[in-house]
Amino acid sequence: MTQRFTRILALLMVSLALPLISTATETNAQAKFASAAALLQAHKAAEALPILEELGRSNPSPSVFWNLGLSAAEVGNHAVALQAWRAYRALDASNWQVRAKLIQTYQALGDLQARDQERTDLIALWQAGTDKSLSAQPIFCREQFIHAGRKVMVLEYFRPSGPNALVYSFMVLNESGQQDFKISLGSYEQINQIALELGQRPKDQRLYHLDLYRPAVHETHGMYLGQPGYDVIRPTVLEVLAGKHQQTPKVPAPAPAEELTRINLPLQKTLLNLRQIDQSSLREKKLSPEQLAEIFRMNQSQLSELVKQHGWPTLTAVGNDAAQGAWLIVQHADHDRNWQREMLGLMEALIAQGEVRKSDVAYLRDRLDVADKQRQRFGTQGKCIGKNIWQPFELADASQVDDWRKSMEMTSLKAYVDRASTILCGKFEGAQ
């Protein structure tokens, strides 16, 4: 991944240093342009700037205005840079990169309306596919700035796709211009699948996360239900760069506001309370096994009465988190297998209507199969056999388990085992 971004960065840097060709015929103008070019290459933009400003008045050309824009931006004179990019586009509107430069400049000037219009036009041009040079690009540079003496280049992906679906990459460069580390916003497929299984997102919305990547370091600094805008994450990125932002815990996402009008609020509240009792009891180390079992029995009794009154709590009726709460209570009612089987039957009958989470059904099916000393289909039940090593109990058919899991909207078994090993087996201290 680092090598790939290095190659992309190299291409970007080459594209920024367009051929320094002057259309001026006068020898003096050619000499001045060559002098300014040499100063730019020597990272002396402040000295190159007045020369290029003079050439912009006396010998205007695309190459003069391009380098004038680069020089002005480098020294932080964004008003002059804006004039240069506009002048360049007036002479050569075919170069899509000047649009990216205008986006960067409007950002620096705080003119977000003009920035957004240029961005909209650039994306529309990319989508049209009429500019082959642009259509071949997966990204464009939407902002460059200096933070603590280091350059930060922000890349935006025209169409986030693939298993990581990256939207933005904030690349922090070292003195040689190579990537040192990055902060990216993405929507990883594996994390979304797991979040769906665990009830941390509804089916119609994805989780996006803001991550810091250094060598051997990965930190999450933001979790969002739905794609956040650039102006939402940028302040957080600046705090991360300044070392002032704490890592973000991965908490369950709330149900979308538009679902609230369809939800049975009293029933939802009751189930959320039962879920809280269930989860807090599992975390309470002072409870004896007998006390914990009694709590599970009390929760089962309350849920049983609710089901008699309302039927199984559907996603439409109570929302994702409360529905998961009902499933958790059934999952933990191991003292009453017959009742678990009865609830499983109710849940299975609602699969076709999309009113239960398929993964909940799979977990409960496996739990009952293992309890009955049968081989499980989905590989959800297992145990720690070593530190950071979780192993599923015997499978019904290892060759089909991933197909079965996919049919229930679950991740691959390997992804599940890897996550279970990290979460469940980090403190393994002996045989279980």
Note the pLDDT of residue 428: 58
Query: What tokens appear for 345 in the block?
Result: 């039957």
Kindly give, in sequence order, each residue whose CB lies less than 8 Å from that of residue 61, ignoring residues fewer than 6 positions away: 22, 23, 24, 91
Task: Looking at the structure, tell me whether residues 117 and 215 fall in a common domain.
Answer: no
Q: Do 255 and 263 form a contact (C-beta atoms < 8 A)?
A: yes
Note the pLDDT of residue 189: 86
Instruction: Give tens-digit pLDDT for 238-292.
Output: 999 999 988 875 444 344 444 444 578 889 889 988 988 988 888 887 888 898 8
Note the pLDDT of residue 45: 92
Domain boundary among 128, 151, 168: 128
Q: For the chain, what percent of residues have pLDDT higher than 90?
A: 57
63-139-415 Cα angle (round to 5): 160
pLDDT of 195 strictly over 80: no
Task: Looking at the structure, tell me whether residues 414 and 290 fall in a common domain.
Answer: yes
pLDDT of 184 strictly over 90: yes
Lowest mean pLDDT among 61-70, 190-199, 345-354, 382-391: 190-199
Dihedral sign computed on CA atoms, order 224, 226, 227, 228 = negative
Q: pTM score > 0.85 for this model?
A: no
pLDDT of 5 strictly over 60: no
Q: Which residue has the tokens 């192993």?
A: 391
Query: What tokens appear for 136 in the block?
Result: 């071949």
Task: Looking at the structure, tell me whether residues 273 and 408 fall in a common domain.
Answer: yes
Q: For the chain, what percent of residues have pLDDT higher than 70?
A: 88
Note the pLDDT of residue 430: 55
Contacts for 3-6: CB closer than 8 Å, 24+ residues apart:
5/169, 5/171, 5/179, 5/182, 6/178, 6/179
pLDDT of 51 strictly over 70: yes
Instruction: Give CA 390 to chain center in angstroms.
Output: 27
Note the pLDDT of residue 90: 93
Note the pLDDT of residue 364: 96
Cα pseudo-dihedral 72, 233, 15, 131, rounded to 10: -120
Tell me 258's DSSP state: G
Task: Looking at the structure, tell me whether residues 303 and 413 fall in a common domain.
Answer: yes
Note the pLDDT of residue 36: 87
Task: Looking at the structure, tell me whether residues 208 and 86 fall in a common domain.
Answer: no
Task: Looking at the structure, tell me whether residues 114 and 183 fall in a common domain.
Answer: no
Does residue 167 lie within any of the structural domains?
yes
pLDDT of 22 strictly over 80: no
Note the pLDDT of residue 258: 44
pLDDT of 7 strictly over 90: no
Distance CA 97, CA 334 (A): 63
Query: What tokens appear for 418 in the block?
Result: 């890897």
Instruction: Give tens-digit pLDDT for 394-406.
Output: 999 999 999 999 9
- What is the span of the domain harbouring residue 405? 263-424
The CATH code of the domain that includes 56 is 1.25.40.10
| Mean pLDDT along residues 366-381 | 95
Note the pLDDT of residue 187: 92
Task: Looking at the structure, tell me whether residues 18 and 88 fall in a common domain.
Answer: yes
Per-residue confidence band for 8, with pLDDT thresholds at 50, 70 and 90: very low
Query: How many domains are there within the chain?
Result: 3
Does residue 430 lie within any of the structural domains?
no
Note the pLDDT of residue 96: 93
Q: Do 138 and 157 form a contact (C-beta atoms < 8 A)?
A: yes
Domain boundary among 177, 208, 241: 241
pLDDT of 41 strictly over 90: no
- Of 8, 1, 55, whose CA–CA distance to 33 is shortest? 55
Task: Looking at the structure, tell me whether residues 105 and 186 fall in a common domain.
Answer: no
What is each CA distance from 10 to 5, 17, 173, 290, in whole angstroms?
A: 8, 11, 12, 64
Q: Do 363 and 382 form a contact (C-beta atoms < 8 A)?
A: no
Three-state DSSP state, 321: helix
Note the pLDDT of residue 145: 94
207, β-bridge pairs: 225
**Helical segments of 1-131, H only:** 2-16, 27-41, 45-58, 62-75, 78-91, 97-109, 112-128
pLDDT of 374 strictly over 50: yes
Q: Do 244 and 237 form a contact (C-beta atoms < 8 A)?
A: no
Lowest mean pLDDT among 33-37, 77-81, 283-287: 283-287
Per-residue confidence band for 427, with pLDDT thresholds at 50, 70 and 90: low
- Of 209, 234, 196, 170, whose CA–CA distance to 5 is shortest? 170
Lowest mean pLDDT among 57-61, 115-119, 212-216, 303-307: 212-216
Does residue 258 lie within any of the structural domains?
no
- What letter represents residue 417's amino acid? V
Domain boundary among 68, 98, 128: 128
Does residue 226 lie within any of the structural domains?
yes
pLDDT of 86 strictly over 90: yes
Does residue 52 lie within any of the structural domains?
yes
Secondary structure E strands in 302-388:
382-386
Task: Looking at the structure, tell me whether residues 274 and 410 fall in a common domain.
Answer: yes
- Of 381, 299, 304, whose CA–CA distance to 342 is shortest? 304
Q: Do 389 and 429 form a contact (C-beta atoms < 8 A)?
A: no
Does residue 237 lie within any of the structural domains?
yes
**What's the mean pLDDT when you consider all of the chain?**
86
Dihedral sign computed on CA atoms, order 279, 282, 287, 289 = positive
141, β-bridge pairs: 155
Three-state DSSP state, 152: strand
Note the pLDDT of residue 9: 44
Task: Looking at the structure, tell me whether residues 198 and 268 fall in a common domain.
Answer: no
Does residue 250 lie within any of the structural domains?
no
Query: What tokens appear for 277 in the block?
Result: 């009792």
Q: Do 1 and 8 form a contact (C-beta atoms < 8 A)?
A: no
| Mean pLDDT along residues 228-233 | 92
Task: Looking at the structure, tell me whether residues 112 and 198 fall in a common domain.
Answer: no
Note the pLDDT of residue 30: 84
Does residue 28 lie within any of the structural domains?
yes
Query: What tokens appear for 89 in the block?
Result: 């586009």
Instruction: Give tens-digit pLDDT for 127-181.
Output: 999 998 899 899 999 999 999 888 999 999 999 988 889 999 999 998 878 889 9
Task: Looking at the structure, tell me whether residues 82 and 193 fall in a common domain.
Answer: no
